[in-house]
Amino acid sequence: MKHPVPNSALEIRVPFVDTDAMGVVHHSNYIRYLEVARVKFLEEHDMPYVSYLEMGFQFAVTRVDVRYKKVAKFDDRLVVRVWVEWVKNVSLGFAYEVSRGDEIVTLAKTEHASVDNSGTLTRLPKPQRNALRALLARPAD
C-alpha cells in the first residue's frame, strides 16, 4: 500500500484478551491500537507525547471513524501504519491503516483538538505545528 506522507508503523501481536466470543479481535480494541500508533508517530516525527503533556498540552480526541474490513484473530501479527493528514492551528487529523501481510484489516481516521489542562482550545506550539505541517509537504520514502 502507498502512504502519502512520512509515517510510523506499530507492530502488534494480538493478545488473547483482545478477542471476543466470536473468536476475533473485538472492534473496540482497534481504538486502543490507534492511540499507541499515534503516540509512536509523535515520538518518531515530532516530539514525545509526554513532552506535550509536560508542556500542558493535550490532543483531545474529538472524532474516531473506523472501518472494519477483515477480522483478526489471537496471535495475528498486525501492523498499524499512521500518518498526519491535516494540521490546523488548534486541531489536527491522523489517518491509519491496520494490515496483516497484504490484507487491509481496518482503516481509520481520528481528529484531535489541541487543549490545555483545563480543556480550553489552545494553539499548538509553533515549532510542533511547523514540524507536523512539514510532514504533509514531504512524500513518504
Active site residues: 20
Q: Concatenated DSSP letters for 5-49?
A: S--EEEEEE--GGGB-TTSSB-TTHHHHHHHHHHHHHHHHHS--H
**Is the Cβ of residue 65 or residue 138 nearer to a copy of itself in the bound state?**
65
Minimum CB–partner distance for residue 137 and a copy of itself (Å)? 28
C-alpha to C-alpha distance for 17 and 74, rounded to whole angstroms: 9
**Is the Cβ of residue 37 or residue 84 nearer to a copy of itself in the bound state?**
37
Q: Cβ neighbours of residue 87 under 8 Å, at least 6 residues apart?
A: 124, 129, 132, 133, 136
Name 92's bridge partners.
87, 112
Minimum CB–partner distance for residue 59 and a copy of itself (Å)? 10
Which residues contact a copy of itself by CB under 8 A?
15-17, 19-24, 26-28, 31-32, 35-36, 39, 48-50, 53, 58, 60-68, 71, 73-75, 119
**For residues 85 and 93, is the Cβ–Cβ distance under 8 A?**
yes
DSSP-derived secondary structure letter, 89: S
**For residues 96 and 68, is the Cβ–Cβ distance under 8 A?**
no
**Is the Cβ of residue 59 or residue 83 nearer to a copy of itself in the bound state?**
59
**Is the Cβ of residue 65 or residue 103 nearer to a copy of itself in the bound state?**
65
